[in-house]
């Protein structure tokens, strides 16, 4: 089995290797500079004199003179002091002396360079070891935020997403990573809480028609001899409850399908969609004010029709008797707009946001035939089409909802 090297070990080895390479380069540069500046034999002998005529200097190849020759030189030098020395012998002795100086200088140069190399190598090894130890601690400190991220990720679960890294310090890459991770956990926490709330609300809404059906059946079964009228009434109640549950399931299915993205993309004109919706909806006693301008966009025509139908249905349902409904489409600045407004009760500005959440209703906007999913489906369809939806309360009561979607870009003209 191959050994497992952690990131800390790999960083430490990398620090140590880089330090050793840089140190070796520094030692090599220092050695080269010192070797270039120390005088060599060639430089020391460049100013040597010439031997007298007929003589050849001893030590031409810079070898050291033998001991017997040194003794002879001593005798010659002693004789020179007495004034009876041969000039050729004197020159040979002086050459031998200079040769000895050169050999000594070369030996000292080599010893200096060798000493520098050994001492620098030992120092580099010791300092590299210290750098490795320091790199181990530095790597541990640098990876401390990563360990905190790992601990937060391990403690996070579907039932507990409250753990946060909350990393302090300078805004570097690790701080940015920790903040991004905290943001992801926060989004996941909101998503799971919304999912749990959605499931609880959906279960409650589905339980209502089941309760109605059970009560109707129990009432009839409690009678020993149920009449035909009672059985027919029970059947009507059950059928109405089934229709109610079917409509709710269809709404939930639409929300779930939108989470997977668009499956169909076709060119669609919102003005045509709005006109079709108006032809098929019962406005009751509401007055319609319609202004439909071409608004071409791309998306799923069925979902866009559902979006428009939900907005118009809400505008009709949550209205006052004899109230008005405004419906308009337009195209502006590369976007298309669908605007639906109505009369109705006054809505507080801080309560508008909850209308787009599933199963959330205002007390003034409740109805026995609604699920609280109409605007939630609108918001889901708008998001899957890459648009935005904005609801604003009107001063006299009611809501003004504006849906903005990307428009179809006109095709570039063909080159001549």
pLDDT in tens, 165-186: 777 777 777 778 888 888 888 8
The pTM for the full model equals: 0.52
**Range(s) within the chain of domains with CATH label 1.10.287.130:** 176-258
Burial category of 195 from C-beta neighbours within 10 Å (exposed 0-12, middle 13-18, buried 19 and up): exposed
Sign of CA pseudo-dihedral 376, 381, 386, 391: negative
Confidence at 414, pLDDT banded by 50, 70, 90: very low
Of 114, 87, 104, 101, nearest to 31 (Cα)? 114
- What is the rounded average pLDDT of the residues 89-118? 76
* Diameter over CA atoms, the chain: 166
- At 55 the pLDDT is 41
DSSP state of 84: -
CATH of 176-258, one of 1.10.10.410, 3.10.580.10, 1.10.287.130, 1.10.10.10: 1.10.287.130
Could you report the per-residue pLDDT of 340-358, keeping only the tens digit for each? 999 988 888 877 877 877 7
- Name the more confident of 401 and 243: 401
Confidence at 52, pLDDT banded by 50, 70, 90: very low
Runs of H (alpha helix) within 259-349:
270-280, 301-317
- What is the rounded average pLDDT of the residues 213-225? 86
From CA 307, how far away is CA 401, in angstroms rounded? Answer: 12
Of 377, 378, 370, nearest to 208 (Cα)? 370
Q: Of all residues in the chain, what percent carry a pLDDT higher than 90?
A: 16
Confidence at 48, pLDDT banded by 50, 70, 90: very low
Backbone dihedral angles phi then psi of residue 145, each to the nearest 5 degrees: -60, -35
From CA 179, how far away is CA 152, in angstroms rounded? Answer: 12
Q: What is the DSSP string of 205-231?
A: HHHHHHHHHHHHHHHHHTSSS--HHHH
- At 226 the pLDDT is 82
Q: Which residues contact 304 (CB under 8 A, 6 or more apart)?
A: 268, 270, 273, 297, 381, 385
CB 94 within 8 A of CB 73: no
Given a cut of 80, is residue 69 above it in pLDDT? no
SS3 336: strand
Given a cut of 60, is residue 366 above it in pLDDT? no
Given a cut of 80, is residue 370 above it in pLDDT? no
SS3 279: helix
- Name the more confident of 240 and 373: 240
Confidence at 327, pLDDT banded by 50, 70, 90: very high
HSE, CB side, 13 Å, CA atoms: give it for residue 97.
Answer: 12
CB 344 within 8 A of CB 317: no
- Its CATH architecture, for the domain 266-406, is 2-Layer Sandwich (3.30)
From CA 90, how far away is CA 55, in angstroms rounded? Answer: 11
- What is the rounded average pLDDT of the residues 6-17? 86
DSSP state of 335: E
**Range(s) within the chain of domains with CATH label 3.30.565.10:** 266-406
From CA 125, how far away is CA 119, in angstroms rounded? Answer: 10
Given a cut of 80, is residue 307 above it in pLDDT? yes
Of 241, 368, 342, 352, nearest to 287 (Cα)? 342
Q: Of all residues in the chain, what percent carry a pLDDT higher than 70?
A: 75
SS3 374: helix
From CA 414, how far away is CA 411, in angstroms rounded? Answer: 9
- At 333 the pLDDT is 87
Runs of H (alpha helix) within 259-366:
270-280, 301-317
- Name the more confident of 31 and 83: 31
């Amino acid at each position: 089995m191959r050994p497992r090297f952690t990131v800390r070990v790999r960083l430490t080895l990398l620090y140590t290797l880089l330090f050793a390479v840089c140190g070796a380069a520094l030692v090599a540069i220092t050695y080269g500079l010192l070797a270039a500046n120390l005088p060599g034999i060639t430089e020391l002998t460049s100013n040597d004199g010439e031997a007298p005529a007929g003589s050849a200097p001893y030590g031409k190849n810079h070898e050291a003179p033998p001991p017997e020759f040194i003794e002879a030189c001593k005798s010659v030098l002693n004789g020179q002091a007495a004034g009876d020395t041969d000039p050729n012998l004197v020159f040979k002795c002086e050459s031998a002396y200079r040769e000895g100086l050169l050999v000594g200088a070369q030996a000292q140069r080599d010893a200096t360079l060798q000493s520098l190399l050994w001492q620098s190598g030992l120092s580099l090894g010791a300092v590299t070891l210290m750098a490795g130890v320091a790199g181990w601690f530095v790597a541990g400190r640098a990876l401390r935020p990563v360990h905190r991220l790992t601990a937060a990720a391990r403690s996070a679960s579907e039932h507990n997403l409250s753990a946060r890294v909350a990393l302090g310090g300078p805004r570097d890459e690790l701080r940015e990573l920790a903040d991004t991770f905290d943001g992801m956990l926060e989004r996941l926490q909101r998503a799971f809480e919304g999912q749990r709330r959605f499931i609880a609300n959906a279960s409650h809404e589905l339980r209502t028609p089941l309760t109605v059906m059970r009560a109707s059946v129990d009432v009839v079964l409690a009678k020993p001899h149920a009449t035909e009228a009672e059985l027919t009434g029970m059947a009507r109640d059950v059928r109405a409850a089934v229709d109610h549950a079917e409509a709710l399931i269809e709404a939930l299915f639409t929300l779930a399908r939108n989470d997977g993205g668009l499956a169909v993309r076709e060119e669609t004109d919102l003005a045509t969609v709005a006109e079709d919706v108006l032809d098929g909806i019962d406005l009751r006693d509401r007055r319609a004010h319609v202004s439909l301008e071409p608004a071409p966009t791309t998306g799923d025509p069925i979902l866009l029709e559902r979006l428009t139908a939900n907005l118009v249905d809400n505008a009709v349902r949550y209205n006052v008797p004899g109230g008005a409904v405004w419906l308009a489409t337009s195209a502006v600045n590369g976007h298309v707009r669908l605007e639906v407004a109505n009369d109705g009760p006054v809505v507080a500005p801080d309560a508008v946001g909850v209308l787009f959440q599933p199963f959330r209703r205002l007390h003034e906007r409740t109805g026995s035939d609604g699920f609280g999913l109409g605007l939630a489906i609108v918001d889901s369809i708008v998001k899957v089409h890459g648009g935005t939806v904005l609801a604003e309360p009107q001063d006299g009561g009611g809501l003004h909802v504006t849906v903005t979607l990307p428009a179809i870009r006109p095709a570039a003209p063909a080159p001549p």
